[in-house]
Amino acid sequence: MALPAATIEQLGQWEVPEQQIGLWSDALQRFRRNRLAIAGAAVVLLLVLIAFGSPLLVQLHLIADPLKQHVEFIEAAPGQNGYAFGADELGRDTLSRLLFGSRVSLAVGIFVQAIILPIGLAIGLTAGYFGGRIDNLLMRFTDIWYAFPDLLFVLVVVSVFGPSLLTIFGAIALVNWVGLARLVRGQVLSIKEKEFIEAARSSGSAPAKLILKHLLPNSLGPIIVTLTFGIPQAIFLEAVLSFLGVGIQPPTPTWGQMVFDGYENIYANPTSVVFPALAIGFTLLAFSFVGDGLRDALDPRMKR
């Protein structure tokens, strides 16, 4: 491919392509070249497979039932008695608990984003479109929300309403929607400034449909990136909750819970802490790689 002479003068500076056409295929290409992102995506894919496949594995008797307690094998070390990763303090198989823990993590990550999306969109759109006092009001509202330390809010809500699935998902969603709302609002505002909107307005028509039509392709990228980064945030919060004892309750195995349980016996059986801890860490790492990769791939200002 020829390198235009004008590029020489700009070597070392950002290039700004103006068209959106081909952005997606271009993005895919760039993502594929990012090895860390691919590694992250592979891990995520593996997690999804495990999450969906683990009940099947139990059915096929390939792994033990994570809920079944074998009292005689309490605190078995890895490799002992057929427990590949050992057993926990109630005699449950650590490996299968690990595998099942992925279900909770993924569920938290995805469902929380599913809740955040409509809230963030609604508020962002309203603030951006109507502007003026409504915008001001909503922005003050988000400022207040922002001032609340996220972990504290979630802990308070959970302590008040009890650690049910709904409460936990809802609370986590409530502390994380601000970012998406601000993003959407910013996008709407910048579209509103464009000339064709002025033209539509001056000819008397309400530009709502026009704005929406242009909003989608422009902001889809940043929205996806924000949601992707939101997944590890949500998983993190749930894990902390579990670690503090107020997350998703037993008998459903979650990684945070496993660290919590294992921590008490950390001297006798450190692996029961290490494995879930590493699982959490690597899952979050994988998602951040994917998020970084997506952001770099979709950023129109990316330097080669």
Partner 1 sequence: MAVTAGRPTRGALLPSQLSAITSTRTGSLAIFIVRRILWMAPILFFVILITFTLMHLAPGSPWDKAGGRQLSDTVINNLNIRYGLNKPVTQQFVLYLWSVIHFDFGLSYQYQNKTVSGLLLESWPYTATIGVLAFLLIIPVGVGLGVLAALRQNTRIDYITMGFATVAASFPNFVIGALMVVVFGVLSYRATGGNFFLPTAGFALDDHLIMPVLTLALLPIAYTARLTRASTLEAIRQDFVRTAWAKGLPERLVVTRHVLKNSLIPVVTTLGPTFAFLVTGSVIVETVFSIPGIGRAFVVAIESRDYPMILGTTVLFSLVIAVANLVVDVAYVFIDPRVRLT
Partner 2 sequence: MAQTLLQVEDLHTQFFTRRGVVRAVDGVSLHIDAGETLGVVGESGCGKTMTALSVLRLVPDPGRITSGRILFRGRDVTKMTDDEIRDFRGNDVAMIFQDPMTSLNPVTKIGSQIEEAMTAHKRFSPQEAGVRVIQLLKRVRVPAAERRVSDYPHQFSGGMRQRAMIAMGLANEPSLLIADEPTTALDVTVQAQIIDLLKQLNRELGTAMMLITHNMALVASLCERVVVMYAGRVVEEGPVERIFKSPQHPYTWSLLRSVPRVDELRKDRLVSIKGLPPDLSNAPPGCKFHPRCPFVIDRCKREEPELAEVAPNQVARCWVLMRNVPEEAAEVTKQVVISEEAAKKLQEIPGAGS
User: Sign of the C-alpha dihedral, residues 81, 87, 92, 97?
Assistant: negative
Residues 9-38 binding partner 1 (CB under 8 A) are 12-13
Closest CA to 30 of 271, 303, 269, 231: 303
CA 98 to chain centre: 20
Interatomic CA distance for residues 239 and 255, integer angstroms: 7
Work out whether 263 is an interface residue with partner 1 (CB under 8 A): yes
From the list partner 2, partner 1, none, partner contacted by residue 22 (C-beta under 5 to 8 A by kind): none
Work out whether 160 is an interface residue with partner 1 (CB under 8 A): yes
Work out whether 11 is an interface residue with partner 2 (CB under 8 A): yes
- DSSP class per residue in 194-212: SHHHHHHHHTT--THHHHH
CB of 243 to partner 1, least distance (A): 5
Q: Which is nearer to partner 1, 58 or 273 (CB)?
A: 273
The backbone torsions φ and ψ at residue 89, rounded to the nearest 5 degrees and listed phi first, read -70, -10
CB of 5 to partner 2, least distance (A): 3
Q: Which helix (H) or strand (E) holds 88?
A: none
Work out whether 239 is an interface residue with partner 1 (CB under 8 A): yes
**Contact 82/231 with Cβ under 8 angstroms?**
no
Closest CA to 163 of 105, 260, 102, 249: 249
Q: For residue 18, what are its two tokens?
A: 């103006």
Q: Which is nearer to partner 2, 12 or 132 (CB)?
A: 12
Q: Which is nearer to partner 2, 3 or 160 (CB)?
A: 3
Interatomic CA distance for residues 92 and 76, integer angstroms: 9
Residues 124-153, mask of contacts with partner 1 (x by CB under 8 A): -------------------xx--xxxxxx-
Segment near partner 1 (CB under 8 A); pick from 79-87, 89-97, 112-120, 236-244: 236-244
Segment near partner 2 (CB under 8 A); pick from 8-16, 227-235, 246-254, 257-265: 8-16
Q: For residue 257, what are its two tokens?
A: 């819970």
Residues that bind partner 2 (CB under 8 A): 1-9, 11-12, 304
Q: Which positions lie near partner 1, rule CB under 8 A?
A: 12-13, 143-144, 147-152, 155-161, 232, 236, 239-240, 243-246, 256, 259, 263, 266-267, 270, 273-274, 277-278, 280-281, 284-285, 288-289
